[in-house]
Amino acid sequence: MAHQPMAPVNTGYSVAVLEFKKNLLEMLKVRKDEQPSQIPEFLQWISSLWSAVKFENFIFSFRNTLVACAYENLCREFSEWEWSFRRHILSLFASAETQISNTESSSIDEVVEALQNNSHKEIAVQTKEITEKLKVYYKRKDCNVHLVEKYKADFINSIKSLESEMKHEVRKKLEAAAEKRRNTEKVEEIENNQAAMIECKVRQLLQNYKDRNDAVSDDDLTADFERMWHREMANITGLKEKDVPADVLKQLRASLGNRQVMEDLQGIKNLTQCGRKEFQVEEKHVNNYSKIKGCCTSNFAKQSLENVAVEVINSCTRMIEHFTQSKSDYQDTFTKDVLEEIDAQLNKSGSKINTKFELDIKLYICGIASRKFTEMHRKYITEQDPLNHVQKFKSQYLSDFIDLYRERDQCQRKARDFTQLCLKPAVTEYINQSFGTDIVDAVLENNTSEYSSRALFQYTILKELLDKSNFSDFVEYILHYENYIKDWIYNHIIKCFSKDISLQELKMKKLDRVIKKITNTVEASKLEANGSPLTNNVEGTTILIQNFCKAMSDVISISMSTVERVLFQNTSCCDPFTKSLYECIDDLKQEIAKEISESTLITETLKTVSVKPQDELFKRVFGCGVQCPFCKTPCEAGGKEHQLHFAAVHRPQGLAMYKHIKTDILFEEICTSSVHGNGKFQNCETNFKPHPYKDYRKYYPDWHIAPDMSIQASDYWKYVLVTFNKQFAEKYEALPAVYPDAWNRITKDQALISLKYVFNIQ
C-alpha cells in the first residue's frame, strides 16, 4: 500500500482554517495603502498554494531524511551491480578481442558473428541477474525500501538502458577489432612474403656450403650471410601511406549529406588547415541573431554557444587522444566515432544548434583529427616497416644458418627465441591492455565513499572546491562540468597510485596469473588429443607449439607469422625443447618482473590499457549528465534512465551566466525560488521570448525543481557567489549580483555545514 505524503486531517484543521480567514481579513483592513488582489488573482494564488500542499512542493520543503537515506542506499547497491555487469562484459570482450587478433582474415566475419552472439547471451544473463537483484532488494524489510517504491521503474529502465549500451559497445568494439586484424594481416602478408624470400636464400646458401668439402670458419659463414642479406634488403620497399585527411573529409561529407551545407563544403579540399586556431563563435552561428533584441540577450546566446563549443571540442579531443595512444593503425571507425560523439554532444547541449555552427565545429574537430590520425598512421607504418621487421630476425637467421651447417643442437636457442619473440610481446601486451579493470577495482577498494554513489561523489567534489576556493575551478566546474569531472577522476587515479596503491604489485599479480596459465598450457600441450604423449621428434615440437598457441588464443595474442620464423629449419626434438622452454619461461618471468619494478609511471599505464579506468569511473558517477537549465546543477538521480531529473540543491542563476535583461546584473535568485514566483525567463529554448518560471516544464518537462529543504540549504552557493561576485561578473561580462545583506554573514564553515546537511553527511 502506498504511503501517503501527509497525515490525515485532524479535528483542529477547521479551527485553523477559520483562524486563517480572520487573520487574512484583518490584514487586508490594516494594509489599506496597498492595492489588494482581485478575486480571480486571489483564487489563482489559493489554487497554486493547494497544489504545493498536495505535492509537498513548498518554497521550503519538509525534508524526509528517511526517504533520502533509502534512496541513497539503493543507488549505492545499484552502482555495485552495474560495475559487476560492466566488468564481466569487458572481461569477456578482452578475450574476444584476443581471439580476433589470432584469427585469419578468411574467417574473421564468422568468428566475429559467433563472438557477438555469445556476448549477447552473456549480456542477457547479466541483465537477468541484475534485474533479479533489484527484485530481491525491493522485497527486503529493512533500509526503508518501501519509501523508494516510486523509483523502481526508473531503475528497471536503467537496467534496460545498460543492456542496450553494452550491446552497442560490444558491437563497436568487435567491429574495430576486426578492422584492426584485417589491417594487421595485410602487413603480415608482406612480411611473410619477404621472410619466405630470405628463408629461400638461407637454404640456398646452406646447400652451397654443404656441397663443399673444405673447412669453413664461422667468420666465413657470417661474411657470406652478410653479403646475401645486404643484397636482399635492397629489394625491400616500405609500406604505402594512406591519405588519411581525404578519408576523414569523405566521412564528414557523408555525415552532412542531408544538411543544407554542401555548397559551403565544396570549398574544403584539405582538412589539415582546419582547427589550428582557437574556435570562434560568430554571428552566423547564433539562431535568429537578427531577431534577438538587446545586447545582453545576444551576448548570452553567444556565450552559451561558446560553452557548447568548448564541451564538444574537449570531449572529441579526448576521444582522438584515446585512439592515437593505441599502437595500431588508423581505422575508418575512428572518424565515424568522432562524428557520432560530436552529434551526441550537440544533442545533449539543449541549445538550438544551426547548421552553420554544426558545420564549422565539425570542420574544426575533423581538422584536428586528420592531423592526429595522420601522425598515428605514419608512426604505425614506420614501426611496421618491412625492412625493420626483417632486421629483427637477422640474428636468428644467421644462428639458424650456422647451427644447421654445424649440425648443432638448437633446443635452447629455439626455446629462447620462442619466449623472446613470441611470448614476451604477447605477455607484455596482455598485462598492459587488460589492466584497466584491475585499476578500477583497486581505486574503488581504496576510495569506498567517493565513488559509492553520485550524491557522495558530488559532495566530495564540492567540498574540495570549497577547501581550495579557487575561482577558476568553480568556473570550470559550473560551465564545463563534464570536462572538470573527467580531469578530476584522471588526476585522482594518479594520486591514488602515487600514494596508496602499488602499481607494481597489481602488475605482478597479473604476471603471476598469465605465467601460471602459460606453464599449465605447455604441460597440457605435450599430449595428443587421445591423451598420449607427443612423439619425441621435430614434428612433435611443431605440434606442441601449435597446441599451445591454439589453447592460448583467447588469452594472449601470438603472432603466428613470428612463430613460423622461429620454427624455420627447426631440428629440436619435443622432449628437450619442452625442458628448455620451461627454463626460458622462468627466465622470461624474471625479466618482465624486473621491467615492471622499473616502471612506476601510472600515466604511461593509463595510455596503454584498452579499458580506460578513468572512463569506467566516470560512467559510474556521472549519471545522465543533464544539468539544470537555469543554474547548471547536475542531475543526481540514480541510474541513467529516469523519468525526472532532480538535484539536492540548486544555485543562484548568475553563477551559470544568467543576467537581468534590463540591467545586465548577474541574477542572484535561486531557481528553486524562481519556479514558485511570478518571474519570467528567456533563453535559446524560448527563442528569447519571456516565459513564466512557474511553467518551466513546458520547455523542460523532464526536470523536477523541488523547493529547498530549508532557508540554509543553499548557503554553500550563496557563499560562493558572495566570495567571487566581482570575478564572476568580470568573467561573464556583466555587473556584480545584488543579493540580500544576510548572505554576507554566511561563513565558510556554514557553507560546509549546509553542504553536509544537503547530502546527509553525519
Contact by Cβ (8 Å): 714, 754: yes
Any idea which residue has 585527411 for its cell? Answer: 245
pLDDT of residue 210: 77
pLDDT of residue 355: 85
How far is residue 163's CA from residue 127's CA, in Å, rounded to a whole number? 6
Q: What pLDDT does residue 416 have?
A: 93
pLDDT computed for residue 289 by the predictor: 45
pTM for the predicted model, two decimal places = 0.84
Rg (CA), the chain: 34
Q: Which residues contact 180 (CB under 8 A, 6 or more apart)?
A: 100, 101, 328, 329, 331
Other CB atoms closer than 10 Å to residue 515's CB: what's the count?
Answer: 18
For 207, the grid coordinates are: 646447400
Q: Which pLDDT band holds residue 362 (cuts at 50, 70, 90)?
A: very high
* DSSP secondary structure string for all residues of 421-454: IIIHHHHHHHHHHTTHHHHHHHHHHH-TTTTT-H
Decide if 744 contacts 52 (C-beta within 8 A). Answer: no
As a whole number of Å, the end-to-end CA separation of the chain is: 31
What are the tens digits of pLDDT across the range 626-639? 899 999 999 988 77
Quick: pLDDT tens for 40-79: 656 655 665 555 454 444 433 434 677 888 888 999 999 9
- What is the CA angle 757-759-762, rounded to 5? 60
The pLDDT value recorded for residue 105 is 78
**b/e map 659-691, b = 16+ CB within 10 Å:** bbbeebbbbbbbbbbbbbeeeebbbbbeebeeb
Lowest mean pLDDT segment, chosen from 343-352, 378-387, 546-555: 343-352
Return the number of other C-beta atoms located less than 10 Å from residue 587's C-beta.
Answer: 14
pLDDT, position 59: 39
Q: What is the pLDDT of residue 491?
A: 94
Mean pLDDT to the nearest integer, 156-178: 93
Q: Residue ranges of the alpha helices (H) in 212-354?
A: 218-233, 244-255, 262-265, 295-325, 332-348
What is the sign of the dihedral through the CA atoms of 322, 326, 329 and 331? negative
- What share of the chain has pLDDT > 70, as a percent? 91
d(CA 482, CA 518): 42
pLDDT at 737: 95
Lowest mean pLDDT among 18-32, 326-340, 555-569, 745-759: 18-32
CA distance readout (Å), 432 to 426, 439, 682 = 10, 11, 51
**Residue 426 predicted with pLDDT over 60:** yes
Query: From CA 393, how far away is CA 567, in angstroms rounded?
Result: 12
Q: Which of 46-55, 166-175, 349-358 has the highest mean pLDDT?
A: 166-175
Report the range of poorest mean pLDDT among 248-262, 460-474, 695-709. Answer: 248-262
Label residue 4 by pLDDT band (50, 70, 90): very low
- How large is the average pLDDT for residues 725-753? 95
Rounded Cα distance between 431 and 434, Å, is 6
Answer whether residue 266 shows pLDDT above 90: no
490, pLDDT greater than 90: yes
Average pLDDT over residues 77-99: 93
Q: 556 and 427 in contact (C-beta within 8 Å)?
A: yes
Task: State yes or no: pLDDT of 208 exceeds 90.
Answer: no
Per-residue pLDDT reduced to its tens digit, 541-577: 999 999 999 999 999 999 998 999 888 888 889 999 9
CB atoms within 10 A of CB 447: 18
Task: Please tell me the predicted confidence (pLDDT) of residue 283.
Answer: 81
pLDDT, tens digit, 9 for 90 and up, residues 659-686 = 988 889 999 999 988 998 889 998 878 8
Average pLDDT, integer, range 456-467:
94
Among the ranges given (21-35, 333-347, 429-443, 710-724), the one the predictor scored with the smallest mean pLDDT? 21-35
Q: Whole-angstrom Cα distance, residue 188 to residue 186?
A: 5
- For residue 66 the three cell numbers come to 528517511
Span 275-294, average pLDDT: 73
Instruction: Give 32's DSSP letter.
Output: T
